[in-house]
Structure 1
Amino acid sequence: MIETRNFRILRNVVLTILSLWVAVPLFVVVSTSLKPLKDVSGLFQWIPREITLAPYFDIWTTVPLAKYFQNSLVITIAATAFSVTVAVLAAYAIARLPFKGKRVFSLTVLSTQMFPGILFLLPLYLIFTQIRNITGLQLQGSYLGLIITYMTFTLPFAIWMLSGYFASIPKELEEASMIDGTGRMGALFRVILPVAKPGIIAVAVYSFISAWGEVLFASVLTNEATKTLSLGLKAYASESDVFWNQLMAASVVVSLPVLIGFILVQRHLVAGLSAGAVK
């Protein structure tokens, strides 16, 4: 009894410390975004002496934030949609279809997660350069180039995740559908996908978050016309001035799509991650 009570106390202390570790930086960001620029410099004040919403209006005129927002939405939504579509087909083949080298392919897909993303930066850059030289297709500085790039590191996890989820679904469901004449693809779209909705949502959220906040590849493979939000935030700092209040306000605005999306699909996300991981 005493050990259980001590464990609960220790657990609550650890959870409180972890919560503060996350909450304090968020509070600093929000607090700074509500201050005029003159109150940002100097000793930090937890409670603003003067609260203003001006930084949230100024962020759209100081830099072309709306354009960066549009670029990020187009690239992220397209990369997520393509990743989920390809991952669903590949994962279903791994989970249901017998083919030679399936285990090797699955392990190869999973092993790609062992390598840091920076290792792929130079090869991708050289590949895009060769494609431009041979075909004339300009992938550097284009939406398509960044969409393909983001798919290279979201697809392996998505395939591995969904293959485990599909394998956990009883085969009898699709077999009954195929007996009724739907065929394999019909069974996939009419039976398997509705049942696997939590797993698909989990993969979509992971792909979206990975692409939305990515900086490394975007800094090399974009130009001023296709610059994303993660790079656009740097524009609030110049050689002589740093608009800290606007930078923090922009950070809050940039975080809202991910936060709202996570809240809306939280239930499906937890269920999808649990089912795929356990299998």
Structure 2
Amino acid sequence: MIETRGFKILRAVGLTFLTAIVVLPLYVILVTSVKPLEDVRGVFSWLPSRITLQPYMDIWTTVPLAHYFVNSLIVVVTATIFSVVLAVLGAYALSRFPFKGARTFSMMVLSTQMFPGILFLLPLFLIFTQIQRTVGIQLNGSYLGLILTYMTFSLPFAIWMLSGFFASIPKDLEEAAMIDGTGRMGALIRVVLPVARPGIIAVSVYCFITAWGEVLFASVMTNADTRTLAIGLRAYASQTDVYWNQLMAASVVVSLPVLIGFMLVQRHLVTGLSAGAVK
């Protein structure tokens, strides 16, 4: 189809509008983070009259941001590692050992993504409370409870993505390795996982991002000692005042790990998502 000049102009205008919707909020965050607080409280200006990096230094003392940062790393990294390891094993089993009802099981795993997370909030809280009463293991307000919660939501999608990726890998590679004396687990580690690296990276990034910015469950299942970054940002708003410049500066700092990680694995991420989704 030959594109007319009017169509090209309309497409450019539409893309510019969509880009502005994404970029303008980020620009406001960056501009606000380098303004003094008195300038933020005044009339908003697109260009700051004064630029200061003081908010980036104050965010660590106004709120125990470093403590929240460590909490988030503990919870998110642990949940991501366990989700990926279990997803690799589950997806490999689905793709290499077909059984009756395997397709139904895969659809049931994927269907868990249809429901909003708030539906699971109260049941999980009650389950964790009952476990604490009967077994004595404290899950509410602990790292372990939040890790299990994040795995509950990331693991089904990770299994579904990796099963499609493993299914696209020829079985001849594993059979050749096993003929040479390598067992099934050895073939998985030495042959399949290196080939499936883009898919594993894509799933890891998904699990990490999903848990890093999660607010709903973290607000209920954490306390002052285990509070994560997403909840800790609210501490910049007190009953009498809101430190908008520090809040924006902290938002920038919190976004940096995800941004840097995405830039490092962008090529593998696109390849992994495409391969898993197409299959």
Q: Which amino acid aligns with 1:36?
A: P
Q: Which amino acid aligns with 1:12?
A: A
Q: What does the per-residue CA deviation read over 1:59-85, in whole Å, with 9 as the maximum and x for residues that have no partner?
A: 000010000000000000000000000
Residue number in structure 2 paired with 1:255: 255
Post-superposition shift, 1:2? 5.6
Residue number in structure 1 paired with 2:56: 56
Post-superposition shift, 1:185? 0.9
Post-superposition shift, 1:171? 1.1
Tell me if 1:128 matches 2:128: yes
Q: What does the per-residue CA deviation read over 1:43-100, in whole Å, with 9 as the maximum and x for residues that have no partner?
A: 1111100000000000000010000000000000000000000000000001111223
Residue number in structure 1 paired with 2:222: 222
Residue correspondences, number: 279
In 1, Cα distance between equivalents of 2:178 and 2:16: 52
Aligned-partner SS, 2:3:
helix
Closer/same/farther in 2, CA of residues 9 and 181 from structure 1, 3 Å limit: farther
Closer/same/farther in 2, CA of residues 239 and 84 from structure 1, 3 Å limit: same
Aligned-partner SS, 2:41:
coil
Q: How do 1:16-35 residues align onto structure 2 when only pairs under 5 Å count?
A: 16-35=16-35
Q: Tell which deviates more after alignment, 92-101 or 110-119.
A: 92-101
Q: Which runs of 5+ in 2 are unaligned?
A: none
In 2, Cα distance between equivalents of 1:70 and 1:168: 38
In 2, Cα distance between equivalents of 1:152 and 1:11: 41
Residue number in structure 2 paired with 1:268: 268
In 2, Cα distance between equivalents of 1:82 and 1:7: 49
Residue number in structure 2 paired with 1:166: 166
Q: Which amino acid aligns with 1:150?
A: Y
Aligned-partner SS, 1:3:
coil
Residue number in structure 1 paired with 2:182: 182
Closer/same/farther in 2, CA of residues 211 and 186 from structure 1, 3 Å limit: same
In 1, Cα distance between equivalents of 2:237 and 2:83: 34
Residue number in structure 1 paired with 2:69: 69
Task: Tell me how large the CA RMSD over aligned residues is.
Answer: 1.1
In 2, Cα distance between equivalents of 1:260 and 1:99: 41
TM-score by length of 1: 0.98
Post-superposition shift, 1:11? 2.8
Q: Tell which deviates more after alignment, 44-53 or 180-189.
A: 180-189
